[in-house]
Amino acid sequence: MSSISTIFLPEVNNQISIERIKSNLNLVESVIGFSKGKCLTREDVERITKKLGPRMSSTRLYPGGSSVLFGWGFNFENIDPIIIKPYYSREFPALFIHYFTLLDFNHYFEDFKDRLQSLRISIEIPRVIGFAKINTLTRNFPVLMTLEVLGETIHKNPSFIALTSKLARKLGKKGIIMDPYPSNWKFADNKGDIILSYIDLMSSNTLKNLKKRISDFYKGL
């Protein structure tokens, strides 16, 4: 028998419909069952989209990757779209560490911000909404919920690839670990202002009180 438990961050509780997200998590759980715990291919996404029909309206189902089964974006009235990502080769601490690292990111990023602003480029990391644990197929699947980033990956833009690779190297020297692989970055052009968004998990080797912070999050699940 499957079950779902959730943690929503306090700062978003009054901005989103928790019940609506829980309903979406039920859809996510059903697709995990369809996938048999393996990442979805583009062909799988096409079959599921056709099978679910109207229930796919205003949503976006993405194929999986090296650690994610799939991503599913849902629209909401009072907040930007939210994407739900169940993981099959990552455990809960990795998701929690991503959130803790995100809290410290702006501090480490200050050294690069002015230079990028002069180029009309900004770097964004999607805001974390919460976490879930989906127990199905006799195992627990960690789930991360963040604001969804729309747009294209940077695969076809060598200048963006060079920039994000350089940024990842420099932040790595400060203890922030980001994967520069182009599929992990999306870009959007807003009237000449470029927004580069990192959509994979981050980690840090400078986090303090890590065991206690992870333990506190576990208690919520």
Burial class (CB in 10 A: 0-12, 13-18, 19+), 104: middle
Q: Which amino acid is at 11?
A: E
Domain that holds residue 25: 3-207
Helix (H, G, I), strand (E, B) or coil at 197: strand
Note whether 128 and 198 are within 8 A (CB). Answer: no
52-87, pLDDT tens digit by residue?
Answer: 888 788 899 999 988 999 999 999 877 789 999 999
Task: Please tell me the predicted confidence (pLDDT) of residue 124.
Answer: 92
| Mean pLDDT to the nearest integer, 118-131 | 92
Judge whether 152 lies within some domain. Answer: yes
Residue 138: inside a domain, yes or no?
yes
Contact (Cβ atoms closer than 8 angstroms) between residue 194 and residue 182: no
Percent of the chain predicted with pLDDT > 70: 99
> Is 215 within a domain?
no
Residue 12, domain member (yes or no): yes
Q: Report the number of distinct structural domains present in the chain.
A: 1
Residue 89: inside a domain, yes or no?
yes
Strand ranges, E, within the chain: 3-8, 59-62, 71-74, 82-86, 121-124, 128-136, 139-147, 152-153, 176-177, 185-190, 193-198, 203-204
Answer whether residue 219 is part of any domain.
no
Torsion of CA 43, 92, 12, 153, to 10 degrees: -40
User: What is the per-residue pLDDT across 157-215, written as a single tens digit (0 to 9) for each?
Assistant: 999 999 999 999 989 998 999 999 999 999 999 888 999 999 999 999 988 888 888 88
Query: Looking at the domain assignment, is residue 88 inside a domain?
Result: yes
With respect to residue 117, please indicate whether it lies within any of the assigned structural domains.
yes
